[in-house]
Amino acid sequence: MLTTPERIAFVLLVLICGGLAFSGFRNIVRIVRRGAPADRSDNLAGRFVRALVDVGLQKTVFKARPWVSFFHAFIFFGFSFYLLVNINDILEAFIDGWSTIGGGPIASAFNLFSDLFSVLVLTGMVMLLLRRFVQKPKSLTFNSSVKLHSKVTSGGVRTDSLIVGVFILLHVGSRWLGTALHLAEKGHGDAWLPTASIASIPFRGLPTSTLELGIHTCWWMAMGLIVLFLPYFPRSKHLHLMVAPINLALAKRTPRGELTGVANATEPGAETLTDLPWTQLLDSYACIMCNRCQDACPAHASGTPLSPAALEINKRYYVNEHAAQVAGGGAVANLLDFAITQDAVWSCTSCYACVEVCPVGNEPMMDLIEMRRGMVFEGKMADEVAEVLRNLDEKGNSFGDSARKRARWSKKLDFKIPDARKESVEYLWFVGDFASFDPQSQEVSKAVANLLHEAGVSFGILYEGERSAGNDIRRVGEEGLFDALAQQNAELLEQCEFEKIFTTDPHTFNALKNEYGPYAGAGQFEVVHYSTLLVELLNSGRLPIKAELGGRGTYHDPCFLGRYNGGFDAPREVITASGVELVEMPRNRENSFCCGAGGGRIWMKDHDDVTERPSENRIREALALGDIDFFVVACPKDLTMYRDAVKTSGNEGKIEVVDIVDLLNRAMTGDRSSESNKEAAA
């Protein structure tokens, strides 16, 4: 189809633009390789097969924003098929007589798909551009205190989106119009090209020379634009087309609740971009800048300076701006200088929501933990965090109380809980700091103990021998202290005789289940959350229900039980067994909204920019369900956070925050009043 001069011009254009693009891609490889070591080499074939399936089915995209995902799927499937379309167009241009119009069954099927996918891509792209530039959703903006690269504040992301959007419209639209002109030249439509046939009607009857000019112009608009776009591609967010599948394939495959250890104990954490593991440098190239992670972030929703999206976007704009310097091994700026503020680093609750919701497999939370590790190592932390870490180092608990007070709550029971250090038990109860020292949580601990005793369960505790399990210590960034506490606990556990460990604290549950494996004797034991144990006892008839409570309740999924460890069903079974009608909040299970206590945030003061605490946001969500009696929790920290939130949000008397064991206890005794609330009030 193309003339000889056109063919020569196209080849030269490919060589020039391809060479420029190659330079950009080479810089990307060099920059990523400068990152710290990270091993993602296990089962590479399986990793990439799984990633291709997930991408092919758009599974990660449809986790959120269903309508946006729907139109994105139009573009994805259409653009994927357009790889074949573009190959066909090259063949048509360079092989005389090549055409699929009027061909056999395979050519006809190809034409039908190319015709329909063209319309789908154009429709999807128009809808997404209307959303960004006309609707302008709040989710695409940032809190005023969020640190942003200067090019982002001047509209760089919007400009990039517009360039990519216009490119797709022109590329696909020109190809589709070119097909219509081909049909007009033939003087008739084609049943296998339905939309192009309709579009060809106005052009039929035009002079052949005019149609030929139009066909050549459309070809160059379609194929020439691709070639011209190549040098821009490595700098554009459109790069996610290539990097996202790779990023998903190389994602962390160990348990969600198991943090990657420190590579260099003498210089832990990250201060500069290249201190981050190379996988986290790859994240910035995979990022599509959709802000879904920001939507899910409780810290950003509260008004703090943290935006996981801004972190990845800032990283990307920095490496774009300094690509040659970074790729060449030159000096790299401190992350706090361009990517994020120190306040934002400490605003993270380590809830994992940003990682779970990301459609391209990014892990911005891990950047923050790496930065915290470096800051803690250098003593750069809030005074209240430093005080808690001293308490943990000296006393073994975050409250700073004597270890002898750890089991004081149990003295109010009518029986003595066996000492698991001295006698064999079926269940070793690792109580945890909050369940041991917090007054409200102590009442839940007593209720659990009474129920287990009544059910005839053989269980014991470690008394003053127990130390903090270290889950939040590790997420604050104090690896050395976590290691010391975990080692002490592991050595003590190894000396005890028991069959299983259970705990009422999801944070403790996560640490024991996922992070104690490397410590002698600790990794061999089964660890269960108390909700699982309660369900087993209910099903076996050892916890008989006297009178169903009635009423309506909603349940909050704790991050470290639900999103991290998949513990969704057992707490709900306890609630329904108690006779309470369960009404789900819009954000539930994997999509649950963090209470704001994790990542050590429960030890820190609220940021000055906070407009609404995550816990208050959640109470408002529950009340919006209408006529809800109980806000049910299965975590000691949640009990404290949400009872406080009911008060600070002015909703006292409108909803009761209760633990699952409180509901069960009432159903078993027939007493509808809350023992834990009575004790807390007293």
- Domain harbouring 259, CATH code: 1.10.1060
**Whether residues 218 and 256 fall in one domain:** no
**Whether residues 593 and 645 fall in one domain:** yes
pLDDT tens-digit series, residues 21-42? 999 999 999 999 999 999 999 9
- Domain harbouring 592, CATH code: 3.40.50
**Whether residues 533 and 546 fall in one domain:** no
pLDDT tens-digit series, residues 453-496? 999 999 999 999 999 999 999 999 999 999 999 999 999 999 99
Q: Which DSSP state fits 417?
A: P
Please say which residue of 206, 235, 264 terminates a domain.
Answer: 235
**Whether residues 479 and 621 fall in one domain:** no
Query: Residue 667 domain-assigned?
Result: yes
Query: Residue 32 domain-assigned?
Result: no
DSSP-based three-state secondary structure for 660: helix
pTM (two decimals): 0.92
Helices (H), 544-629: 569-577, 614-623
**Whether residues 364 and 323 fall in one domain:** yes
How confident is the model at residue 677, as a pLDDT? Answer: 47
**Whether residues 369 and 336 fall in one domain:** yes
**Whether residues 400 and 263 fall in one domain:** no
**Whether residues 650 and 530 fall in one domain:** no
User: What are the average pLDDT values for consecutive 10-residue runs of the chain, which has 682 residues?
Assistant: 93 96 96 94 94 94 94 95 95 92 93 96 96 94 95 95 95 96 92 95 93 95 95 94 95 93 88 95 95 96 96 96 94 95 96 96 96 95 94 95 95 95 96 95 96 96 96 95 95 94 97 88 82 96 89 97 97 96 96 95 90 95 95 96 95 95 91 53 41
Q: Which two tokens stand for residue 31?
A: 């920059």
CB atoms within 10 A of CB 521: 14
* Displacement of CA 666 from its chain's centroid (Å): 37
Query: Residue 55 domain-assigned?
Result: no
How confident is the model at residue 609, as a pLDDT? Answer: 86
**Whether residues 553 and 530 fall in one domain:** no
**Whether residues 461 and 517 fall in one domain:** yes
Query: Residue 65 domain-assigned?
Result: no
Cα–Cα distance, 582 to 422 (Å, whole number): 42
pLDDT tens-digit series, residues 138-157? 999 999 999 999 999 999 99
Please say which residue of 324, 350, 377 terminates a domain.
Answer: 377
Domain count, the chain: 4
pLDDT tens-digit series, residues 373-419? 999 999 999 899 999 999 999 999 999 999 999 999 999 999 999 99
Q: Are 388 and 398 in contact (CB under 8 A)?
A: yes
Query: Residue 472 domain-assigned?
Result: yes
Query: Residue 1 domain-assigned?
Result: no
Domain that holds residue 576: 538-681
Query: Residue 368 domain-assigned?
Result: yes
**Whether residues 494 and 413 fall in one domain:** yes
**Whether residues 518 and 438 fall in one domain:** yes
Bridge partners, 515 (sequence order): none
Please say which residue of 377, 411, 435 terminates a domain.
Answer: 377
Query: Residue 51 domain-assigned?
Result: no
Report the b/e string of 328-361 with b at 16+ CB within 10 A. Answer: eeeebeebbebbbebbbbbbbbbbbbbbbbbbbb
